[in-house]
């Protein structure tokens, strides 16, 4: 009977990470029974609430018990691994016993806790091990009338390739997905290992994890972009009832969900590394489509076939499976957007309806299958002999299925087997044969493993160990396979207690500490070649890369010529003695923690030395740190969160840049990649955006051509580079068509500098002649530009001092004309960098639809430009006058290089007056883009000062208004006086105005303004002019103070 049930959705929020704690993060999630709320950190009143089947609060209220398990501290709502297993794991087991297929998916951004819930860490075992262990426990306690068959498989989907994590050999291009009428999609040739104990599964998982770790370094992939699928097939054979039940349990640790958005928003000439994202994107589409189906909408097509993952999960989504999704949430405010999107995703998944059925079939069918399989296996076992070939299990391939049916036809045979005795024998024999085959293979692997760990130097397992092992073996009734497994573990433990070793550190904590390389007595070479004592594969690691020497209790490391070895953040060139817990990076990015000889070891917790630690240390050695970046709003103990975010972006990208450089070198692409920190304040017209952003500067080694890539573009290109590199390793030519070459881009003009020219003078119809510094993105001077802003009449006659206005509002609804004259650009550093370079200057005024550019000037460090553009606001609006008063003109300096397109220096596309002047403040053009006039801003101290000055300006304006009234009054009175009325007393209002004036400008240069001059507009205007000019200087200084942190390292080198 089909059973309609919705996908069950659980959410779980993890504790803060160390990084989040350091950043003073706030928790934006709250949970109340099954409702989960998320607060918008920028708008705390804004709360969104979701209802899921289960909500796990694992954020706080826990303590570590003596085994390292996190358990509730006191009686509170903390949900540990046990609680999660209790609901979700038990649910899966129940389904399996009933004969339903079951699927468990973990979804969430990288670092949100997917693997913690699925696999677990140390004592905090996750769902997969617990489910497997409980399954075996239950099986072992059952009566013998039933027979149970459990197989285990483990695969990874990376870039639409399926990698068998249990197979020693990797097929180039991965395994193929095939479709079968009966069983749907399956992976052809995937190893399904028959298992008879939990220990065996533990071992397989360990092996798979090792495989995954090695694959990430050899393929330069990142586990955060791959999906891991563990499949357990559980078959129950009820011999009495002539019935079998079968359940397929899929346990899926999905790739980090965060990438989808970031790469979609990026425009790049090359399509995004789509294949990397394809599976997750398609999963999203399938879920959306199914959610629509559930709400009664007509959906024509559900795109299961679009990706590998959705093919394999077809039955889990909308099909024959009971499915649970666990959505992992990060609690931190900085992850708000991602977490919200995870919650929305989960909400959609909740709507999906599945139709799970019990997979039961009469044993008759099973017998047919068994017979065929049995025949096949016995012939294979016979053929295997002692040669010990490894055989991959093909029991699921469609071919064998077909054979099964063919061979099972004979009536007499069926009759024969139908007898109970025969059934039991047949089932057992077949299963035993399969187990035997798996055992055989394991033995081979075991001997290979022992050979690998007993190196050329030859170690002798001490008597104490071998005798203790012997005791274990002889006293136990363990199966030989198990004994072997335990002896490997014991041997590894013994090695760890005897020799110093390297412990791998991966970006993904789940893959850290998986590989151990022992440094035994004597010398020990490291490198890619199999002749080395320690074989290490990875980008930038050479055949023979370095040599360790372990003698007299000292361990030293010597890099081979030109081989990159970094110890504690510093590149070493000669022999270096290692200390316990030194950080060693070999090649581009293979990171290891050095664990010294036992005598040197301390009690210190090794978990401190995670991937972040390595990268921060590297960054610090290069002179890059949070302090150097500067925490704006000084006086705070903690760095500004946006600064921290940039810092973490930086250290995240650092290893990627290193790898890109290595690939560029090996593929002979001649490109050099460097990280740069760009100050966004430079492109804000009010100079008040304090954020910083990472960009990647790309330089061609020969032509010196330069490109600047955004972070998202770089990340996308890096995927594509990896793909190209992988194909190169597989023997393909890396010189691909340049249209599809991730290392190639057309030459473009590069943004090299920018200046702020405050427009306030124009609001008063005053001329401004400015020597503006063009600063590069790091706040350093790139060039100096001479620019004039000149108010003028409609026919271009420049205004003089007498045309000045006291109050910009006098210009309201009048025609306002001005000219921007760019005279020259001096000392352009860009032009010194290489020959064949030029510059162009661009700027955009108020509401113009596009930037205006000066004509290019080539190869002249001091570039004469001498270009003037006349602008007209035909009916000046309040907003425009406000813009002039509060904003700066952002003037960009563009670097031209050989072969690049010049920027269009015509006035095409702009609205012109009959006289040919450019129309600004066009009411039709002004839409939402009101030049950021009302943007709500955070006000740092300096900015507050600036605002204060602006307020003073306001006050001056008030004074001016009062004075003018007085002026009129005085004139009036004078007239009356002239006609014979003698008035001696000063009017009261005047004294008041002077008082206001004196108060407001007393600290400024305008003090000279005295009450005697109050009646003269021109005099006051002069004073105001001095004041505005001073203010302009202060503003400029303010901006520079804010942007230019002095260069301290190569990171800040100029473009």
Ligand X SMILES: Nc1ncnc2c1ncn2[C@@H]1O[C@H](COP(=O)(O)OP(=O)(O)O)[C@@H](O)[C@H]1O
Pairing state of beta strands 522-527 and 534-535? parallel
CA 170 to centroid of chain Cα atoms: 28
Least distance (Å) from Mg ion to the CB of residue 80?
19
C-alpha distances out from residue 304 to 280, 283, 319, 615, 862, Å? 12, 8, 11, 39, 62
Least distance (Å) from ligand X to the CB of residue 108?
5
By C-beta, is 506 or 699 nearer to ligand X?
A: 506
CB atoms under 10 Å from CB of 162, counted, come to 23
By C-beta, is 510 or 863 nearer to Mg ion?
A: 510
Q: Using CB under 6 A, count the residues that bind ligand X.
A: 18
Question: Both tokens of residue 548?
Answer: 């360790």
Report how far residue 589's alpha carbon sits from residue 566's, in angstroms, rounded to the nearest whole number.
10
Residue closest to Mg ion (Cβ): 115
Rounded to 10°, the helix 198-218/127-140 angle is 150
Rounded to 10°, the helix 274-294/336-350 angle is 50
Of 509-517, 546-554, 855-863, 998-1006, the window that binds Mg ion (rule: CB under 5 A) is 509-517
Report how far residue 846's alpha carbon sits from residue 875's, in angstroms, rounded to the nearest whole number.
14
What does 185 bind: Mg ion, ligand X, none (CB cut-off 5 to 8 Å by kind)? none
- Cα-Cα end-to-end distance for the chain: 69
By C-beta, is 115 or 426 nearer to Mg ion?
A: 115
Residue closest to ligand X (Cβ): 113
213 in contact with ligand X (CB under 6 A): no
Report how far residue 852's alpha carbon sits from residue 880's, in angstroms, rounded to the nearest whole number.
19
Least distance (Å) from ligand X to the CB of residue 1049?
31
Nearest Cα residue to 332 out of 126, 541, 113, 133: 113
Q: Which of 95, 115, 426, 776 binds Mg ion (CB under 5 A)?
A: 115
Nearest Cα residue to 725 out of 396, 273, 294: 273
58 in contact with ligand X (CB under 6 A): yes
- Phi, psi dihedrals of residue 392, rounded to the nearest 5°: -90, 150
Binding residues among 317-356 for ligand X as defined by CB under 6 A: 328
What does 227 bind: ligand X, Mg ion, none (CB cut-off 5 to 8 Å by kind)? none
By C-beta, is 112 or 885 nearer to ligand X?
A: 112
Nearest Cα residue to 550 out of 523, 576, 525: 523
209 in contact with Mg ion (CB under 5 A): no
Rounded to 10°, the helix 198-218/480-498 angle is 50
Least distance (Å) from ligand X to the CB of residue 163?
18
Task: Answer yes or no: are the C-beta atoms of 588 and 538 closer than 8 Å.
Answer: yes
Least distance (Å) from Mg ion to the CB of residue 508?
6
Taking only Cα atoms into account, the Rg of the chain, rounded to an integer number of angstroms, comes to 37
Binding residues among 306-365 for Mg ion as defined by CB under 5 A: none
Of 133-141, 412-420, 508-516, 827-835, the window that binds Mg ion (rule: CB under 5 A) is 508-516
Query: 3-state SS string over 427-462?
Result: HHHHHHHHHHHHHHHHHHHHHHHHHHHCCCCCCCCC
Least distance (Å) from ligand X to the CB of residue 657?
22
What does 121 bind: Mg ion, ligand X, none (CB cut-off 5 to 8 Å by kind)? ligand X
* Locus of tokens 């190869």: 859
CB atoms under 10 Å from CB of 464, counted, come to 9
By C-beta, is 55 or 1039 nearer to ligand X?
A: 55
510 in contact with ligand X (CB under 6 A): yes
Q: Which of 89, 91, 99, 108 binds ligand X (CB under 6 A)?
A: 108
Least distance (Å) from Mg ion to the CB of residue 114?
5
Nearest Cα residue to 555 out of 540, 574, 527, 577: 577
C-alpha triplet 535, 539, 541: angle, nearest 5°: 45
724 in contact with ligand X (CB under 6 A): no
By C-beta, is 113 or 856 nearer to ligand X?
A: 113
CB atoms under 10 Å from CB of 559, counted, come to 22
Q: Which of 15, 184, 630, 734 binds ligand X (CB under 6 A)?
A: 15
Q: Which of 89, 91, 111, 174 binds ligand X (CB under 6 A)?
A: 111
Task: Answer yes or no: are the C-beta atoms of 808 and 877 closer than 8 Å.
Answer: no
Task: Answer yes or no: are the C-beta atoms of 17 and 58 closer than 8 Å.
Answer: no
3-state secondary structure of 770: strand
Least distance (Å) from ligand X to the CB of residue 222?
11
Least distance (Å) from Mg ion to the CB of residue 228?
8
113 in contact with ligand X (CB under 6 A): yes
What does 153 bind: Mg ion, ligand X, none (CB cut-off 5 to 8 Å by kind)? none
Least distance (Å) from ligand X to the CB of residue 102?
21
What does 14 bind: ligand X, Mg ion, none (CB cut-off 5 to 8 Å by kind)? ligand X
Least distance (Å) from ligand X to the CB of residue 124?
7
110 in contact with ligand X (CB under 6 A): yes
311 in contact with ligand X (CB under 6 A): no
513 in contact with ligand X (CB under 6 A): no
114 in contact with ligand X (CB under 6 A): yes
222 in contact with ligand X (CB under 6 A): no
Task: Answer yes or no: are the C-beta atoms of 764 and 804 closer than 8 Å.
Answer: yes
By C-beta, is 655 or 838 nearer to Mg ion?
A: 655
Question: Both tokens of residue 72?
Answer: 């509730």
Of 115-123, 550-558, 892-900, 1018-1026, the window that binds ligand X (rule: CB under 6 A) is 115-123
Q: Which of 509, 641, 796, 833 binds ligand X (CB under 6 A)?
A: 509
Query: Where do contacts with ligand X occur on this chain (CB under 6 A)?
Result: 14-15, 17, 58, 70, 108, 110-116, 121, 256, 328, 509-510
Query: Where do contacts with Mg ion occur on this chain (CB under 5 A)?
Result: 114-115, 510
């Amino acid at each position: 009977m089909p059973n309609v049930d919705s996908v069950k959705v659980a959410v779980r929020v993890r504790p803060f990470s160390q990084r989040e704690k350091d950043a003073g993060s706030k928790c934006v999630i709250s949970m109340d029974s099954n409702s989960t709320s998320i607060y918008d950190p920028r708008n705390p009143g804004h709360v969104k609430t979701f209802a899921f089947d289960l909500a796990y609060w694992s954020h706080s209220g826990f303590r570590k018990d003596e085994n390292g398990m996190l358990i509730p501290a006191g009686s509170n709502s903390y949900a540990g691994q046990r609680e999660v297993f209790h609901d979700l794991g038990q649910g899966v087991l129940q389904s399996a016993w009933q004969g339903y297929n079951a699927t468990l998916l973990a979804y969430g951004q990288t670092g949100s806790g997917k693997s913690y819930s699925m696999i677990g860490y140390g004592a905090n075992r996750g769902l997969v091990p617990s489910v497997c262990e409980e399954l075996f426990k239950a099986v072992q306690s059952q009566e013998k009338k039933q027979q149970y068959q459990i197989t285990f498989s483990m695969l990874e989907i990376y870039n639409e390739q399926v990698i068998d994590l249990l197979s020693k050999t990797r097929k180039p291009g991965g395994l193929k997905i095939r479709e079968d009428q009966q069983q749907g999609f399956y992976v052809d040739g995937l190893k399904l290992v028959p298992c008879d104990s939990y220990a065996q599964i533990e071992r397989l998982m360990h092996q798979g994890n090792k495989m995954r770790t090695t694959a990430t370094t050899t393929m330069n992939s990142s586990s955060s972009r791959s999906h891991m699928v563990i499949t357990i097939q559980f078959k129950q054979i009820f011999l009495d009832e002539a019935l079998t039940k079968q359940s397929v349990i899929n346990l899926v640790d999905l790739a980090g969900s965060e990438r989808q958005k970031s790469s979609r928003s990026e425009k790049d000439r090359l399509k995004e590394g789509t294949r990397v994202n394809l599976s997750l994107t398609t999963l999203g589409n399938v879920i959306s489509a199914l959610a629509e189906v559930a709400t009664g909408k007509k959906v024509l097509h559900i795109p299961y076939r679009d990706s590998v993952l959705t093919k394999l999960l077809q039955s889990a989504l909308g099909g024959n499976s009971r499915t649970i999704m666990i959505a992992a949430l990060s609690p931190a405010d900085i992850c708000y957007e991602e977490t919200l999107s995870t919650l929305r995703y989960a909400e959609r998944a909740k709507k999906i309806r599945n139709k799970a059925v019990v997979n039961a079939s009469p044993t008759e069918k099973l017998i047919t299958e068994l017979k065929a399989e049995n025949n096949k296996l016995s012939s294979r076992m016979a053929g295997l002999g002692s040669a010990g070939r490894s055989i991959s299990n093909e029991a699921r391939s469609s071919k064998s299925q077909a054979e099964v049916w063919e061979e099972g036809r004979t009536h007499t045979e069926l009759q024969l087997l139908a007898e109970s005795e025969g059934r039991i024998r047949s089932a057992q024999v077949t299963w035993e044969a399969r187990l035997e085959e798996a055992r055989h293979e394991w033995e081979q692997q075991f001997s290979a493993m022992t050979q690998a760990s007993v190196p050329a130097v030859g170690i002798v397992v001490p008597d104490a160990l071998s005798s203790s092992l012997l005791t274990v073996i002889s006293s136990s009734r363990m199966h030989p396979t198990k004994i072997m497994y335990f002896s490997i573990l014991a041997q590894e433990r013994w090695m760890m207690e005897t020799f110093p070793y390297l412990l791998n550190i991966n970006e993904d904590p789940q893959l850290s500490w998986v590989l151990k390389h022992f440094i035994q007595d004597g010398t020990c070479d490291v490198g890619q070649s199999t002749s080395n004592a320690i074989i290490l594969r990875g980008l930038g690691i050479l055949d023979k890369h370095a040599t360790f020497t372990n003698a007299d209790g000292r361990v030293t490391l010597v890099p081979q010529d030109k081989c990159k070895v970094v110890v504690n953040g510093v590149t070493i060139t000669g022999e270096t003695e290692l200390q316990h817990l030194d950080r060693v990076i070999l090649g581009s990015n293979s990171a290891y923690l050095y664990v010294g000889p036992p005598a040197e070891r301390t009690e210190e917790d090794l978990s401190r030395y995670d991937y972040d630690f390595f990268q921060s240390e590297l960054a610090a050695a290069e002179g890059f740190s949070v302090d150097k970046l500067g925490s704006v709003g000084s006086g705070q103990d903690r760095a500004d969160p946006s600064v921290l975010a940039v810092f973490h972006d930086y250290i995240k990208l650092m290893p990627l840049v290193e790898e890109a450089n290595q690939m560029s070198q090996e593929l002979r692409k001649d490109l050099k990649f460097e990280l740069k920190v760009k100050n966004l304040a430079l492109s804000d017209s009010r100079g008040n955006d304090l954020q910083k952003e990472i960009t990647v500067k790309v330089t061609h080694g020969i032509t010196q051509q330069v490109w600047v890539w955004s972070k998202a573009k770089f990340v996308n290109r890096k995927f594509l580079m990896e793909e190209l590199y992988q194909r190169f390793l597989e023997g393909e030519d890396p010189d691909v068509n340049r249209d599809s070459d991730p290392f190639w881009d057309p030459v473009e003009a590069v943004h090299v500098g920018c200046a702020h020219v405050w427009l306030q003078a124009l609001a008063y119809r005053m001329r401004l002649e400015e020597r503006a510094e063009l600063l590069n993105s790091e706040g350093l001077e790139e060039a100096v530009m001479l620019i004039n802003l000149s108010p003028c009449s409609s026919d271009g006659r420049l205004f003089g001092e007498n045309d000045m206005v006291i109050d910009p509002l006098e210009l309201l609804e009048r025609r306002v004309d001005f000219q921007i004259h760019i005279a020259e650009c001096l000392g352009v550093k860009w032009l010194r960098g290489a020959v064949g370079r030029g510059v162009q200057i661009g700027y955009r005024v108020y509401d113009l639809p596009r930037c205006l550019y000066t004509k290019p000037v080539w190869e002249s460090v001091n570039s004469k430009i001498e270009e003037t553009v006349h602008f007209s606001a035909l009916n000046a609006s309040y907003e425009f006058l406000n813009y002039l008063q509060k904003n700066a003109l952002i003037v960009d300096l563009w670097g031209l290089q050989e072969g690049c397109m010049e920027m269009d220096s015509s006035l095409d596309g702009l609205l012109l007056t009959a006289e040919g002047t450019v129309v600004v403040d066009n009411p039709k053009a002004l839409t939402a883009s009101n030049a950021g006039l009302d943007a709500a801003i955070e006000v740092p101290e300096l900015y507050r000062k600036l605002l204060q000055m602006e307020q003073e300006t306001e006050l001056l304006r008030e004074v001016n208004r009062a004075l003018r009234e007085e002026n009129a009054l005085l004139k009036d009175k004078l007239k009356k006086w002239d006609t014979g009325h003698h008035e001696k007393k000063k009017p009261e209002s005047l004294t008041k105005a002077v008082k206001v004036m004196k108060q407001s400008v007393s600290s400024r240069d305008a003090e000279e303004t005295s009450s005697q001059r109050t009646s003269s507009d021109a005099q006051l205007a002069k004073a105001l002019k001095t004041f505005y000019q001073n203010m302009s200087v202060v503003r400029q200084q303010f901006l520079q103070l804010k942007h230019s942190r002095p260069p301290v390292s190569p990171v800040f080198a100029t473009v």
